[in-house]
Amino acid sequence: MSRVVYVNGSYVPEDQGKVSIFDRGFLFADGVYEVTAVVGGKLVDYDPHMERLERSLKEIEMSWPCSKAELRQMHEELIKRNKLDEGIIYMQVTRGSADRDFKFPKETKSTLIAFTQVQKLLDNPYAVTGVKVVTIPDIRWARRDIKSVMLLAPVLGKQRAYEQGAFEGWMIEDGKITEGTSSNAYIVKDGRVITRALSNSILAGCTRRMLFRMAKEHGVTIEERLFTPDEAYAADEAFLTSASNFVLPIVEIDGKRIGGGQPGPTVRKLREIYLDEVRAQAGV
């Protein structure tokens, strides 16, 4: 089935969704994006994604492409028109199109596009088996807190991980793990969850934020600090979070088995309480 996509105010069949070759997203990766999960035809954790979008836009000195109400309506319209039950909505805003010139163009209207993608989120087989990760160097820029469409480093990193039979690459900077190429990174030791604190070095995951809230409500301690690959190899459990994977157990890091190669009790509990909240929001 061909999707209906959104391009600058219009809903069109996906093969008719067109953006100029002069678009600054295309020429400079001059734009930001968000990915929001949809379960049971309902947006999951929508507001934090829009808060983060607001921050990303502000940081790159770009204004909202439309009102917040219109943006919400656009998300809901895409779900409706595509009869999306479970999957994601990808949306991106760029600084619009103009003659190629690094500095901001004057009076250019931003480009807003969005589309849906079907994906199984609740019944993810990887949640049962766990996934493998490999460590890779973090070669990204210094403002990873901005959800920029400039994703070449994560693309190369994910490909490198995939070629080694891994699901995700955990990036290393100054001997410490920053995050996954498209997810936040955690280990568990003696029942305590350890993850890096927020800074310009990582993206403030919306899943991370909701997980923190859920963990607090269920008495799971989270310690925000740096950790090394060696510490990760010796951890009892490890996991990742993202809007499209929720909470996913990791059973191998750089070929070393974690927790005997099986998802452990803390991550299983965290995934369960996370899914309970998702189901509650979706009403399923």
Q: Which residues contact 135 (CB under 8 A, 6 or more apart)?
A: 169, 170, 171, 172, 177, 229, 253, 254
- Binding part of the chain for ligand PMP, among 160-168, 198-206, 251-259, 262-270 by CB under 6 A, reads 198-206
Closer CB to ligand PMP, residue 195 or residue 266? 195
Question: Is residue 182 a contact residue for ligand PMP (CB under 6 A)?
Answer: yes
* Whole-number Å distance between alpha carbons of 178 and 186: 10
The least distance separating ligand PMP from the CB of residue 205, rounded to whole angstroms, comes to 3
Q: Rounded to an integer, what distance in angstroms lies between the CA atom of residue 171 and that of residue 150? A: 16
Q: Which stretch binds ligand PMP (CB under 6 A): 10-18, 55-63, 189-197, 241-249?
A: 241-249
Query: Cβ 183 to ligand PMP, closest distance in Å?
Result: 5
Nearest to 98 by CA among 89, 111, 86: 111
Q: CB within 8 A of 71, min separation 6: which ones?
A: 50, 64, 65, 91
Q: Any catalytic annotation for residue 106?
A: no
Catalytic residue among 58, 103, 109, 147: 147
Binding ligand PMP by CB under 6 A: which of 23, 30, 168, 179? Answer: 179
β-strands 246-253, 237-242: how paired?
A: antiparallel
CA distances from 83 to 8, 67, 89, 199 (A): 21, 24, 12, 38
Residue number, 98 or 118, with CB nearest to ligand PMP = 118
DSSP helix/strand/coil, 177: strand
Of 180 and 263, nearer to ligand PMP (C-beta) is 180
Q: Which stretch binds ligand PMP (CB under 6 A): 66-74, 225-233, 236-244, 269-277?
A: 236-244
Q: Is 201 in the site for ligand PMP (CB under 6 A)?
A: no
Chain positions contacting ligand PMP, by CB under 6 A:
35, 179, 182-184, 203, 205-208, 241-243
